[in-house]
Amino acid sequence: MELIYINSGVSPVFPSQVIDLLKYYHRNNWFVKIVLICGVRDEFEKKKAEELLVSSSLDVVYYKSFPNYPFYNVLAKIQLVKAINKVRIGDSTVFHSRGWSSASLVDKSLHKVGLSNPKILLDIRGAIKEEVLDFQKNNWLKKTIKSVNISKVISALKNYAFISVVSEALKDYVLSNVGKIEGGVLVTPCLAGESFSYSGILREKLRNILGIKENEKLLVFSSGGESLWQNNQEIIKIANKGFKVLNLSKVNVDHPNVITKYVKYEEVSGYMSAADVALIFREKSIVNKVASPVKFSEYLCSGLPVISNKNVDVIKQCIENTGYGLLIESMEDITFDAIHKLCAIPRNKISEYGRKYFGIESVAEGYLKIYNKMIKQE
């Protein structure tokens, strides 16, 4: 079996959700050949992708991608067709197309190169309509123009026999918008890479660097990006109560109890080992309800109990079912007593649970089952 993975851009989660997954496939020799077809907007983004992929040993074909506006659709299709034509395609080739934005392009592009019945897994990561409506609230023109493409995308979903989503809530969302999918809608959560596990050695080293005493409890808030849904400023409410908070983010939070550090992806797991409890706080919205936050997967695999509100179904259900965290209404609800109780949970138990359901091994095997199902369908 050969795998052609189509990814339309270089997002903040590109290293963890795309590169780590394909490298894992490559190391385990699951495929005769793996090719990444990667969209880039410009030379700057291509250079960024090349730097991230430099040690991956993956075959990569780049194509020029465009913003998700209807007047770019023809150009986007031409560029994607050119990229696909550079790759050898056999009877046992499966395609994995990541993200809903390319749904209306990938199927048409593969037919354009002469494939009448390509084996495609469309990998949807979020709520299609709401991602546009919520994030273009203050720009009526952009919202109106992008809405045209949303309709095309939703209509195109019916052309795919196999769709994967990151949560049960997103599965319900897709089925309510599309109806029945021939091969089914399969749930595969956002993954945590192999590096995310607990390390006592890194914990001691990094706590010394951060100036955290042995008996101090350190809370970690890891957002990486600057997106509004991350709610970085919420951690001020905790810091005001005397908690030490490690803010792993580009967004600086000015408070004496907050340590802000933005570190490379490969360093994040070490800082999670240095922490005692993790934080996620999301606003109430459909986008958040159906999400599978990458950081949640990474927290669990690092053995961290998680404090969160109830606005992400995956997190809410996990904490309710396992007790590996605390559900709150407001960050101000967090108490020192609650933190000490969470710290009493053995980290190895949380980590084992995280790897079983959110670790790269589990997620990769989930995708492999889908690929095999696609091959056998013929």
Confidence at residue 342, expressed as pLDDT on a 0 to 100 scale: 98
The partner residues of 259 in beta bridges, in order of sequence, read: 246
Confidence at residue 138, expressed as pLDDT on a 0 to 100 scale: 67
Amino acid identity at 308: S
The CATH number for 107's domain is 3.40.50.2000
Provide the residue count of the chain: 378
The domain total for the chain is: 2
Burial tier of 373 (Cβ tally within 10 Å: 0-12, 13-18, 19+): middle
pLDDT digit of tens for each residue in the chain (378 aa)? 999 999 999 999 999 999 999 999 999 999 999 999 999 999 999 999 999 999 889 999 999 999 877 788 899 999 999 999 999 999 999 999 998 878 888 989 999 999 988 999 999 999 988 887 776 666 777 777 777 778 888 888 888 889 999 999 999 999 998 888 877 899 999 999 999 999 999 999 999 999 999 899 999 998 755 444 445 678 898 999 999 999 999 888 899 999 999 999 999 999 999 999 999 999 999 999 999 999 999 999 999 999 999 999 999 999 999 999 999 998 889 999 999 999 999 999 999 999 999 999 999 999 999 999 999 875
Same domain flag for 320 and 372: no
Confidence at residue 180, expressed as pLDDT on a 0 to 100 scale: 81
Confidence at residue 135, expressed as pLDDT on a 0 to 100 scale: 65
Q: In what order do the strands lie in the sheet with 258-261?
A: 258-261, 244-249, 218-224, 277-280, 306-308, 325-327
How remote is the C-alpha of 253 from its chain's centroid?
24
Label residues 95-116 b or e (16+ Cβ within 10 Å = b): bbbbbbbbbbbbbebbeeeebe
Gap between the Cα atoms of 14 and 260, Å rounded:
23
Secondary structure element (H or E) that encloses residue 261, with its range: strand 258-261
Same domain flag for 17 and 129: yes
Same domain flag for 233 and 245: yes
Question: Whole domain around residue 218: which residue ranges?
Answer: 200-358
A 10 A CB-CB count for 182 gives: 11
Confidence at residue 363, expressed as pLDDT on a 0 to 100 scale: 97
Same domain flag for 368 and 319: no
Helices (H), 165-324: 168-178, 200-210, 235-239, 265-274, 286-289, 294-301, 313-322
Same domain flag for 173 and 320: no
Same domain flag for 175 and 223: no
Confidence at residue 229, expressed as pLDDT on a 0 to 100 scale: 45
Q: Which of 39, 34, 43, 35 is nearest to 7 (CA)?
A: 39
SS3 string of 329-375? CCHHHCCHHHHHHHHCCCHHHHHHHHHHHHEHHHHHHHHHHHHHHHH
Same domain flag for 129 and 223: no
Amino acid identity at 25: Y
Confidence at residue 4, expressed as pLDDT on a 0 to 100 scale: 98
Same domain flag for 168 and 117: yes
pTM metric for this prediction: 0.93
Same domain flag for 68 and 33: yes
A 10 A CB-CB count for 361 gives: 13
Same domain flag for 271 and 153: no
Confidence at residue 40, expressed as pLDDT on a 0 to 100 scale: 96
Same domain flag for 373 and 317: no
For residue 234, is it left (φ>0), alpha (ψ between -120 and 50) or beta? alpha
For residue 336, is it left (φ>0), alpha (ψ between -120 and 50) or beta? alpha
Joined tokens for residue 73? 């659709």
Same domain flag for 369 and 333: no
